[in-house]
Amino acid sequence: MQDVLTFIDGKIGRIRLNRPKALHALTRDMCSAMLDALVEWRGNPTVKGVVIDHAEGRGFCAGGDIRMLAESGAADGAEARAFFYTEYRLNHYLFTFRKPTVAFMDGITMGGGVGISQPCRFRVATENTRFAMPETAIGLFPDVGGGWYLSRLPGRVGHFLALTGARLDGAECKYLGLATHYIPHERLEEVKARIAERPDRTAGILGQASVTPPPARIENNLVHINRSFASNRVEDVIAALEADGSEWAETELATLRCKSPQACKVSLRLLSDGAKMKDFADEMRQEYAVATRVVQRHDFIEGVRSVLIDKDAMPRWEPSTPEGISDHMIDTIFAPMPDDEEWTPLSTDGAKP
């Protein structure tokens, strides 16, 4: 499997994303290869920890195989469901992995890249980090655990990120807790080598290499964010931004009006539910149900057409306004899957039911 390299380096397992032309976007085969490696390493007493990084290029991981998902969604959706099923098992397995895990988010970290970095015990940002969950632009929603992670950020920052797809730099990731450490790019290889030699000292090694990041720009906008994004209703968020009248609010309002209204409503519902979840497996089970339905709806297929295929930046959303989306429509998207079709986690011993 050349799109992802899995190997043992000293006393650690290494997962190295190796699909640079696609900014290391994940395929189902890549997710399966990572999952198989983690299962093997979990039971291998000589492997004391896991490091996840990328081989080359400016992206850690830009997301998933969106074109495939759209093509599948326009057909019977089977391939899309299989991808989500495997990807979410990987996300959950990392979340429950008992050995130390380190993700080096050195570059673009979006969508699927968030899903394999946020479950890790240690998450390293650099001056190259560009973190975002931009799914509402293509009619999707912040999945791979987004309902869990974003709902647990300070104030209403997670809701702001989910709706607008705003990009964060490494300093902002560290400030918000999305990253546990901020280390200059030039020191990463040295840090990885030291961890491979002494994984029992991972926390200390990362701490010693860390530097004080630049000021987090998002800190200056927290008051605006917490006020304007306070509601779980998209209509209220738009009204609050209109009432704000500041240059910041005008910019975010223009951004929000380009997003899929359906995706925005789904995202706010996801974060509202996610904040109450007690078990990450329950979060992934719900996200799987939502994802399998959303990829077969008009807005996702249209969003991918507009952003990735025709690239005209003129999506025709249906319905075109939040007011046109009923609570019943959202309830239908969030309905549990039939028992024989629902997502299940891989057991912690690696056995596949």
Contact 303, 259 (CB under 8 A): no
In the annotation, is 190 catalytic? no
CA atoms within 13 A on the CB side of 51: 28
In the annotation, is 186 catalytic? no
> Which of these is catalytic: 64, 147, 165, 170?
64
> Which of these is catalytic: 65, 135, 169, 172?
135
> Which of these is catalytic: 53, 65, 143, 302?
143
Cα dihedral 40, 179, 202, 6 sign: positive
**What does the alpha-carbon distance between residue 177 and residue 131 come to, in Å, rounded to a whole number?**
12
Distances (CA, A) of 343 to 283, 325, 338: 10, 27, 10
**What does the alpha-carbon distance between residue 92 and residue 102 come to, in Å, rounded to a whole number?**
15
Contact 230, 102 (CB under 8 A): no
In the annotation, is 135 catalytic? yes
Residue 141: name the closest of 158, 124, 122, 116 by CA: 158
> Which of these is catalytic: 13, 107, 111, 112?
112
Size of the chain, expressed as the number of residues it contains: 353
Task: Tally Cβ neighbours within 10 Å of residue 31.
Answer: 25
Q: What is the CA radius of gyration of the chain?
A: 20
Helices (H), 109-260: 112-117, 146-149, 157-164, 170-176, 188-197, 202-209, 222-228, 234-244, 247-256
Q: Which residues in 117-140 are b (16+ Cβ under 10 Å) and which e? A: bbbbbbbbbbbbbbbbbbbbbbbb
In the annotation, is 143 catalytic? yes
Residue 12: name the closest of 97, 116, 96, 92 by CA: 97
Output the six-digit token pair for 225. Answer: 């964010």
Q: Which residues in 199-219 are b (16+ Cβ under 10 Å) and which e? A: beebeebbeebbeebeebebe
DSSP-derived 3-state class of residue 284 = helix
List active site positions.
64, 112, 135, 143
